[in-house]
Amino acid sequence: MTHSKIFIYFFSTSVFFSFFSEKSEKKWGFTAHKLINRTAVFLLPQEMLAFYKQNIQLIEESSVNPDARRYLIEGEAPKHYIDLDLYKEDVNDSIPITWKKAVEKYSVDSLTSFGIVPWHIYSMSFRLTKAFEQNNPELILKYSAEIGHYIADANVPLHTTSNYNGQLTNQYGIHGLWESRLVELFTDDYDLLFEDATYLDNPLKTAWSAVRNANACLDSVLSIEKLITEKIGEDKKFSFEERNNATTKVYSTKFCEAYHNALNNQVERRLRASIKMVADFWFTCWVNAGQPSLNNLSNYKTSEKVVELNKQELLKGKQNPIIKSRKHEIIE
Ligand SMILES: [Zn+2]
Per-residue pLDDT, averaged over 21-42, amounts to: 74
Q: For residue range 248-293, list pLDDT tens digits in order.
A: 889 999 999 999 999 999 999 999 999 999 999 999 999 999 999 9
Mean pLDDT is lowest, of 87-91, 122-126, 268-272, for: 87-91
Report the share of the chain in percent with pLDDT over 90.
71
What are the strands, taking DSSP E only, across the chain?
A: 238-243, 246-251
Decide if pLDDT at 8 tops 50.
Answer: no
Quote the ligand 1 centre to 82 CA distance (angstroms).
11
Task: Report pTM.
Answer: 0.89
Identify the CATH number of the domain defined by range 5-213+268-319.
1.10.575
Report the share of the chain in percent with pLDDT over 70.
87
More confident residue, 328 or 181: 181
pLDDT of residue 244: 79
In DSSP notation, 222-250 reads HHHHHHHHHHH-HHHHEEEEEETTEEEEE
Instruction: Identify whether the C-beta of residue 236 lies closer than 8 Å to the C-beta of residue 252.
Output: yes
pLDDT of residue 327: 61
Decide if pLDDT at 26 tops 70.
Answer: no
Decide if pLDDT at 131 tops 90.
Answer: yes
Quote the ligand 1 centre to 265 CA distance (angstroms).
22
pLDDT of residue 12: 35
pLDDT of residue 328: 57
SS3 call for 87: helix
Quote the ligand 1 centre to 208 CA distance (angstroms).
17
Quote the ligand 1 centre to 13 CA distance (angstroms).
24
Q: For residue range 204-237, list pLDDT tens digits in order.
A: 999 999 999 999 999 999 999 999 999 999 999 9
d(CA 175, CA 287): 36
pLDDT of residue 92: 63
